[in-house]
């Protein structure tokens, strides 16, 4: 009988080998998803935008130079009348006017606003990088959860097949007993009912497995093979039990670091607003050129040709005195925004600290439950083996065997769930601590 069970298990293994699929490892899945994830790409584009602003920020210290040029042709009729009628004249006027200028404005002092702006843009660029890292950490956590969700359902599928192999032996044994007159038909019917129920459960399990694979493929931008396989086991790091490793969450969690940047940015905005109370000092310089060529002139007092050019320069000071208290209003608004960002940071820090503590508790409890279920599955397997052996000898009833089978199925469910929950707890712990990216 044991030989029959082994034969049945080998049959299912042979089926798996016949439909061998390309295996995708967790690292491969993470690499593909990070490359194809839309959320990561959007975060990267925002970071690139901030980095571009930061790259050109030093230009705020440079002068502004503008060049202007123009040329025009005029053709008009003119009539002149004087007290002395002999001087009256009229006719057509034609002229060409050409002008050009090169202007320079260099802000030498603006209340240190340019320095605050330069630093604020730099902080925005650093925040963009932190937001990309935070999105990558969240994406990696999602991939790990989905990947091992597939492994979980795969293990559940194997457990169902193992139960089916045992129930097929029950059916065969019940048929033999009925043929030799030592069995009863209800026993055979119940064995077939249990086997059919597991066949239906197998189909449902295969559907769930396929759907989860498609979800992971969707995260990867459909870049995974059309038909692929995953790992067989869920590997859990059992060494994450030192709370000291997770105490400095403010420096390890990228989301908190990005929120902290909002405080720095708000402080710099206050500096920008306060600088508007101080005078502005500009250096101004210009080179001007003008040429007026009157090709035909009827006014005896007007020049035929006029040309001017030259360089002028100087300093200008702008002192704000009253602008409807707009500067004061903007400064107060900036201070209010700083207080708001500080509250948001403290709120998020408190929430993440609580979440980290809960993750530690979940991780520790998941490990304890996993140890218990690992021990339970061994006892459940041995119990089924003994029940089946005694059932073949007619010592135990089919009800007792079915009870042992159900206990084994429940033990498998709890063990697989315990493994998955332990992995989820481990992943959440590393996600909150920001170490998934490392």
pLDDT digits (tens, 9 = 90+) for 193-220: 888 888 998 999 999 999 999 999 998 8
State the average pLDDT for the chain.
86
Q: How confident is the model at residue 18 (pLDDT cuts 50, 70, 90)?
A: very low
Q: 338 or 306, which is more confident?
A: 338
Under the banding of pLDDT at 50, 70 and 90, the label for residue 85 is low
Quick one: average pLDDT of 64-70? Answer: 93
- Cα 287 to Cα 67, 100, 378: the distances in Å are 9, 8, 93
Q: Read off the pLDDT of each residue in 292-316 and give the average, rounded to a whole number.
A: 78
Domains (range + CATH), the chain: 2-36+110-278+321-433 (1.20.1600.10)
Task: Record the tokens describing residue 151, joined without a space.
Answer: 């492994």
Residue keyed to tokens 């969700």: 149
Task: State how far the Cα of 410 lies from the Cα of 427, in Å rounded to an integer.
Answer: 25
Quick one: pLDDT band at residue 89, thresholds 50, 70, 90?
Answer: low
Q: How far is CA 170 from the centre of its chain?
A: 52
CA distances from 321 to 238, 324, 325, 328, 329 (A): 67, 10, 10, 12, 15
Contacts with 373 (C-beta within 8 Å, 6 or more apart), sequence order: 411, 414, 415, 418
Query: Using CA atoms, how far apart are residues 156 and 206, in angstroms rounded to an integer?
Result: 10
């Amino acid at each position: 009988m044991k030989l029959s069970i082994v034969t049945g298990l080998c049959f299912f293994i042979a089926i798996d080998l016949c439909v061998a699929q390309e295996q995708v490892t967790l690292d491969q899945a993470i690499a593909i998803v990070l490359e194809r994830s839309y959320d990561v790409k959007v975060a990267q584009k925002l970071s690139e935008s901030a980095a571009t602003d930061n790259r050109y920020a030093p230009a705020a210290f440079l002068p502004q130079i503008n060049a202007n040029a123009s040329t025009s042709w005029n053709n008009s009729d003119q009539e002149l009348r004087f007290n002395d009628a002999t001087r009256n004249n009229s006719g057509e006027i034609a002229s060409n006017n050409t002008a050009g200028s090169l202007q320079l404005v260099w802000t030498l002092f603006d209340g240190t606003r340019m320095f605050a702006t330069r630093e604020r843009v730099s902080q925005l660029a650093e925040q963009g990088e932190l937001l990309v890292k935070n999105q990558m950490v969240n994406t990696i956590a999602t991939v790990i959860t989905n990947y091992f969700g597939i492994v979980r359902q795969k293990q559940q599928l194997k457990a169902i097949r193992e139960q089916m192999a045992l129930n097929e032996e029950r059916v065969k044994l019940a048929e033999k007993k009925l043929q030799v007159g030592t069995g009863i038909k209800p026993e055979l019917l119940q064995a077939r009912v249990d086997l059919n129920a597991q066949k239906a459960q197998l189909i449902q399990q295969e559907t769930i497995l396929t759907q989860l694979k498609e979800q992971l493929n969707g995260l990867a931008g459909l870049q995974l093979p059309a038909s692929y396989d995953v790992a067989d086991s869920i590997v859990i790091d059992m060494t994450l039990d030192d709370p000291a490793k997770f105490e400095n969450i403010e420096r390890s969690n990228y989301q908190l670091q990005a929120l902290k940047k909002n405080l720095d940015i708000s402080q710099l905005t206050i500096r920008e607003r306060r600088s508007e109370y101080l005078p502005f000092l500009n250096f101004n310089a210009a080179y001007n050129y003008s040429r007026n060529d009157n090709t035909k002139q009827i006014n005896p007092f007007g020049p035929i040709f006029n040309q001017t050019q030259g360089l002028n320069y100087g300093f200008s000071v702008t002192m704000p005195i009253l602008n409807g208290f707009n500067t004061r209003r903007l400064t107060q608004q900036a201070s209010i925004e700083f207080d708001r960002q500080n509250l948001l940071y403290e709120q998020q820090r408190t929430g993440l600290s609580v979440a980290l503590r809960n993750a530690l508790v979940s991780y520790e409890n998941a490990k304890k439950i996993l140890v218990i279920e690992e021990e339970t599955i061994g006892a459940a397997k041995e119990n089924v083996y003994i029940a089946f052996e005694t059932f073949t000898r007619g010592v135990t009833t089919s009800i007792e065997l079915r009870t042992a089978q159900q206990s084994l199925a429940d033990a498998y469910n709890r063990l697989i769930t315990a493994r998955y929950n332990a992995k989820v707890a481990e992943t959440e712990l590393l996600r909150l601590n920001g170490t998934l990216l490392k």
